[in-house]
């Protein structure tokens, strides 16, 4: 094939197009199937630079033999672990997978309390030592490094990147940058965008640039370059300044938002930071080759408080009270999730061993008694505190329990890490249980990441359940109560002829409800194929035109991950829903 031969002339990594490879890369953790033409594994950033230049120069040269038309779809979709639930890492042309080769630690930068004694692990060419601990540090990695490997390195010196997802054993660092990832600890620590020191990004001209916060004089100097890079800075700066009022008016009134291009934090009072736009852009504006993350200390001691609610009415006030104590996390799951755990309790006992199994079963006696006497609670809230010592953490839990006495709720302070673990098991494993035990159906993430302000939850959740009651669907609700961010994943029969119709109808109804409460259609999981067609519903025509201008400024030939953020349609969404016989992939949120 001519294209493969041409790429292999300059590309050192592997160029694959076997049916087996293409089938594998036709899927991620979403409900879509999109078959690429090639899968490439770059050896290094030079491979990426040369590929981008080649695609830019040959955008309209080649034809798709099946469609007999110009390759309007000759493009590059960057991909790492393939855990995206929105279809953001699927594409019809070239998939660029970083996990095979570009998965390494580049190096450390650190602010030290002392000067010698502690080894910083994993630094190429040797190690650095410091005395006891780090005030702070930053670490530079390639995008294909898995978070699980990244975390092992940082935890050796008591540091962590706290915006990790529930799928942290599966996802990679490039995906965290591309999706602006968040998770359990985002309530206190923020999202990925808050931990980017700088990044190296390849723009449409095929050159790599360092992207970091700039002062006003530095920005003006960059603009004065009057080259490809300088014009990006100039045009983005002018676009945001010119449309300042419309942009500010369109900002969702929630704590987390991944819908569209995040244009609100790029221009600050005394800085300009293009990473605020690139993080979360799903590889549609450029391709990141190195990322420098800021790390924070990881507390050794933590304890969980479980709160059981039979009535949703006080939920908004309850969340406000809890947030006043500044917890590490405030998570929740519903009665359907709890019933699922009880129904398939033996699954939780697998691989625990006899001693752990007995302890695990024993730890559930208080909940069993509670449910016998009072039934299943409508919501279970999980509040986690962390600190420098066990006594400090325990006092926070006791004070919270005392403060909540007026709510007349059942509040339980866990006595051990193992006991706390049972609640996290239910929170994290419910979707896997649901998938395994309902034959002929699979989880369908399409309204899986909605967010409204917590004070609206007592009204919002019943209205949400009322919408779902119109359809014969089994589903669970879990998520981040402190942010009002909920993950709703129904089970669906993909052999049913109305599946696509239900997905479109239900999405419209749920998003209408979310927007009525001034929320966002996606807090963490981003747009991809599944939500790009709904961005105009959320933002309106003018903001969508600004998003299109941003895309044009960075990527005038549309070579970076087309159809995400701008240009996606419901017709494309429907036509690429996964085939019924495709094996299920686990979804973790």
Question: CATH code at 235?
Answer: 3.30.465.10
Q: 151-171, pLDDT tens digit by residue? A: 999 999 999 999 999 888 899
Last residue of a domain, one of 79, 100, 121: 100
Higher pLDDT, 376 or 546: 546
Same domain? 83 vs 109: no
d(CA 78, CA 487): 25
Q: Are 138 and 293 in contact, with CB atoms under 8 Å apart?
A: yes
d(CA 585, CA 147): 19
Range name among 229-243, 296-310, 418-432, 435-449 with the lowest pLDDT average: 418-432
Looking at residue 438, its pLDDT comes to 63
Same domain? 71 vs 119: no
**CATH no. for residue 329?**
3.30.70.2190
Sequence-ordered list of residues with C-beta below 8 angstroms from that of 567, at least 6 positions apart, any chain: 532, 551, 558
Higher pLDDT, 549 or 371: 549
Looking at residue 95, its pLDDT comes to 98
Same domain? 121 vs 12: no
- At residue 482 the predicted structure's pLDDT band, cuts being 50, 70 and 90, is very high
SS3 percent helix, strand, coil of the chain, rounded to 5, is: 40, 20, 40
Sign of the dihedral defined by the CA atoms of residues 128, 133, 137, 141, in that order: positive
Looking at residue 208, its pLDDT comes to 98
**Both tokens assigned to 350:** 């697998």
Same domain? 159 vs 229: yes
494 is a domain residue: no
419 is a domain residue: yes
Same domain? 307 vs 341: yes
Q: 311-335, pLDDT tens digit by residue? A: 888 999 999 999 999 999 999 988 8
pTM here? 0.90
Same domain? 206 vs 70: no
457 is a domain residue: no
d(CA 126, CA 112): 18
**CATH no. for residue 74?**
3.30.43.10
Same domain? 141 vs 275: yes
- Rg, C-alpha atoms of the chain: 24
Last residue of a domain, one of 297, 321, 342: 297
Sign of the dihedral defined by the CA atoms of residues 74, 76, 81, 84, in that order: negative
**Sole residue written with tokens 């790429």:** 7
d(CA 343, CA 412): 22
497 is a domain residue: no
- The DSSP bridge pattern shows strands 159-160 and 196-202 to be unpaired
Nearest alpha-carbon partner for 95 in 1, 27, 188: 27
Residue 585 in this model has a pLDDT that exceeds 90: no
- Per the structure, the complete domain to which residue 43 belongs is given by 2-100
Residue 100 in this model has a pLDDT that exceeds 50: yes
269 is a domain residue: yes
d(CA 130, CA 150): 20
289 is a domain residue: yes
Q: Are 292 and 109 in contact, with CB atoms under 8 Å apart?
A: yes
- The number of folded domains in the chain is 3
Looking at residue 369, its pLDDT comes to 67
d(CA 166, CA 145): 17
582 is a domain residue: no
475 is a domain residue: no
Range name among 27-41, 428-442, 564-578 with the lowest pLDDT average: 428-442
Looking at residue 193, its pLDDT comes to 96
Same domain? 198 vs 94: no
Same domain? 156 vs 170: yes
Q: What is the mean pLDDT of the chain?
A: 88
Q: Are 348 and 425 in contact, with CB atoms under 8 Å apart?
A: yes
DSSP class of residue 267 equals B
SS (H, E, C) 469-502: CCCCCEEEEEEECCCCEEEEEEEECCCCCCHHHH
Task: Count the neighbouring beta carbons within 10 Å of the beta carbon of residue 24.
Answer: 13
Q: Please classify residue 106 by burial: count the beta carbons closer than 10 Å to its beta carbon, then call 0-12 exposed, 13-18 middle and 19+ buried.
A: middle
Same domain? 123 vs 251: yes
Residue 566 in this model has a pLDDT that exceeds 80: yes
Q: Residue 588: beta bridge partners?
A: none
- The DSSP bridge pattern shows strands 410-413 and 76-79 to be unpaired
Residue 411 in this model has a pLDDT that exceeds 60: yes
The percent of residues in the chain predicted with pLDDT above 70, rounded, is 84
Last residue of a domain, one of 243, 268, 297: 297
Same domain? 360 vs 338: yes
Task: Count the neighbouring beta carbons within 10 Å of the beta carbon of residue 60.
Answer: 11
Same domain? 290 vs 169: yes
Looking at residue 125, its pLDDT comes to 40
């Amino acid at each position: 094939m001519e294209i493969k031969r041409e790429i292999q002339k300059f590309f050192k990594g592997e160029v694959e197009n076997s049916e087996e490879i293409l089938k594998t890369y036709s899927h991620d953790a979403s409900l879509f199937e999109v078959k690429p033409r090639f899968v490439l594994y770059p050896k290094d950033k030079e491979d990426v630079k040369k590929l981008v230049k080649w695609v830019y120069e040959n955008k309209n040269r080649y034809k798709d033999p099946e469609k007999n038309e110009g390759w309007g779809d000759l493009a590059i979709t960057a991909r790492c672990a393939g855990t995206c639930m929105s279809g953001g890492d699927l594409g019809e042309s070239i998939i660029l997978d970083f996990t095979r080769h570009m998965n390494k630690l580049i190096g450390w930068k650190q602010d030290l309390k002392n000067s010698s004694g502690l080894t910083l692990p994993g630094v190429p060419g040797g190690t650095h030592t410091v005395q006891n601990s780090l005030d702070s540090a930053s670490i530079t990695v390639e995008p294909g490094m898995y978070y699980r490997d990244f975390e092992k390195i940082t935890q050796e010196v008591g540091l962590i990147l706290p915006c990790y997802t529930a799928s942290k054993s599966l996802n990679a660092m490039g995906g965290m940058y591309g999706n602006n990832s968040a998770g359990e600890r985002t309530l206190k620590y923020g999202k990925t965008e808050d931990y980017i020191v700088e990044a190296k990004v390849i723009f449409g001209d095929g050159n790599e640039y360092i992207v970091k916060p700039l002062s006003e004089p530095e920005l003006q100097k960059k603009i004065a370059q009057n080259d490809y890079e300088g014009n990006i800075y100039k045009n983005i700066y002018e676009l945001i300044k010119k449309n300042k009022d419309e942009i500010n008016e369109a900002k969702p009134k929630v704590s987390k938002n991944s819908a569209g291009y995040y244009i609100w934090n790029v221009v600050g009072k005394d800085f300009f930071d293009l990473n605020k736009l690139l993080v979360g852009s799903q590889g549609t504006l450029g391709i990141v080759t190195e990322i420098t993350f800021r790390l924070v200390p990881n507390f050794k001691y933590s304890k969980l408080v479980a709160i059981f609610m039979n009535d949703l009415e006080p939920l908004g006030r309850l969340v406000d009270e809890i947030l006043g104590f500044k917890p590490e996390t405030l998570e929740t799951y519903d009665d359907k999730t709890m019933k699922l755990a009880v129904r398939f309790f033996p699954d939780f006992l697998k691989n625990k061993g006899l001693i752990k199994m007995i302890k695990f079963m024993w730890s559930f006696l208080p909940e069993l008694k509670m449910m016998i006497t009072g039934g299943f609670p409508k919501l279970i809230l999980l509040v986690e505190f962390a600190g420098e010592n066990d006594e400090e953490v325990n006092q926070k839990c006791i004070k919270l329990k005392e403060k909540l006495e007026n709510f007349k709720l059942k509040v339980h302070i866990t006595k051990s890490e193992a006991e706390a673990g049972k609640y996290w098991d239910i929170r994290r494993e419910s979707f896997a249980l649901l998938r395994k035990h309902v034959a002929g159906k699979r989880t369908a993430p399409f309204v899986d990441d909605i967010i409204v302000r917590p004070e609206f939850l007592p009204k919002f959740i019943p209205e949400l359940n009322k919408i779902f009651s119109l359809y014969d669907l089994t589903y669970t609700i879990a998520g981040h109560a402190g942010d009002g961010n909920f993950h709703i994943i129904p089970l669906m029969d993909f052999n049913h002829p109305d599946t696509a119709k239900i997905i479109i109808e239900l999405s419209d109804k749920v998003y209408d409800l979310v927007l009525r409460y001034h929320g966002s259609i996606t807090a963490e999981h981003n747009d991809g194929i599944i939500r790009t067609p709904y961005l105009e519903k959320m933002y309106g025509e003018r903001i969508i035109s600004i998003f299109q201008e941003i895309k044009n400024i960075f990527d005038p030939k549309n070579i970076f991950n087309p159809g995400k953020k701008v240009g996606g349609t419901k017709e494309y969404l429907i036509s690429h829903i996964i085939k019924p016989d495709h094996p299920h992939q686990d979804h973790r949120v």
